Amino acid sequence: MKKIAVITGSRRGIGLGILKALAKEGYHTIMTGVSSSESTEEILDGLQKENLSVEYVRCDSSVSDDRFSLLSYVEKKYGRLDILVNNAGIAPKKRLDVLDTTEESFDEVLDTNLKGTFFLCQIAANAMIRMLSQKIPEYSPRIINISSMSSYTSSVSRGEYCISKAGISMVTSLFADRLAEEGIPVFEVRPGIILTDMTTVVKEKYEKKIQEGLIPSGRFGYPEDVANCVLAAAKGFLDFSTGQVLNADGGFHIRRL
């Protein structure tokens, strides 16, 4: 039986890059998003033409019933969940100074980015523990959370986003600690400035900053750079480093003089 990987928020951008990488490694991948199945058919057709094993399950990570339905579907249909990648995330609809941030925006961003990640970790962890007890052949489950360099970098015009990503860092530490005794490693990948359709609106701004030396590697990141970190964790190379943060940021995290 194929190994099963669930990648939330994977219709485009970083999530899609991670999904493709895992599918190319032989996983049956489950794409999630908030769009209808019909609107995703073109994406799925393209991936299947590349002989990648993928299906789409609609799931709004901020909604409790959706989270339970997703994991219940996977457990009942496949009986295993090898990799959960918590990638689903949203930015504020409108950037506002922290002096003006609204409760509505705060709740909306944290419900998806932080609350969704926490409870998907919880549901998946309990399912993985059940599956481990069943002695499934070649079963070594792992959880990988996608945060951001915003987890430690202040952006005063989108404070709710930064807080949500900082929270994911603690979610990762908590579950890595709790699940170590169960044999389930948990990791965090922190993307830096990644060139996707979501960042095209600030491309010119960051191009200038990169030219001025913001990124030691001197270039934008790409979804494949994030996917490579996920693959390293998924393949088991880092299992004894549970709780580890993988910075996919071209060296941005390095403190420099």
Kindly state the average pLDDT of the residues 137-143.
97
**DSSP string of 50-72, one letter each residue:** TT--EEEEE--TT-HHHHHHHHH
Q: At what angle do helices 13-24 and 223-234 cross, to 10 degrees?
A: 50
Distance CA 152, CA 113 (A): 15
CATH 3.40.50.720 fits 4-248, yes or no: yes
Could you give the 3-state DSSP secondary structure of residue 151? helix
Q: Write out the two tokens for 135.
A: 């002695």
Please report, for residues 4, 22, 33, 91, 234, the alpha-carbon distance to residue 238 in angstroms, rounded to integers and kept in the order given: 19, 16, 28, 30, 8
Query: What is the reported pLDDT for 61?
Result: 97
- pLDDT of residue 1 exceeding 90: no
Determine what percent of the chain is predicted with pLDDT higher than 70. Answer: 100
* DSSP output for 79-135: S---EEEE------SS-B-TTT--HHHHHHHHIIIIIHHHHHHHHHHHHHHHHHHTT
Q: How far apart are CA 48 and CA 74, in angstroms?
A: 20
pTM: 0.96
How much is the mean pLDDT over the chain?
A: 97
Mean pLDDT confidence for 101-129: 98
pLDDT in tens, 169-215: 999 999 999 999 999 999 999 999 999 987 887 889 999 999 999 99
Residue 184 DSSP SS3: coil
Strands 28-33 and 4-7: parallel
Is-contact 107 90, C-beta < 8 A?
Answer: no
Tell the residue number behind the tokens 């990987």, with chain if given. 5
Q: Which residues contact residue 168 at a Cβ distance below 8 angstroms, ignoring those fewer than 6 apart? A: 86, 113, 114, 117, 145, 146, 147, 151, 188
Element (H, E) at 245: strand 245-248
What residues pair up with 194 in beta bridges, in sequence order? 221
| Domain spans, the chain | 4-248
Longest Cα–Cα distance of the chain, Å, equals 55
Q: Which of 27, 139, 161, 206 is catalytic?
A: 161
45-79, pLDDT tens digit by residue? 999 999 999 999 999 999 999 999 999 999 999 99
- The answer to whether residue 161 is catalytic is yes
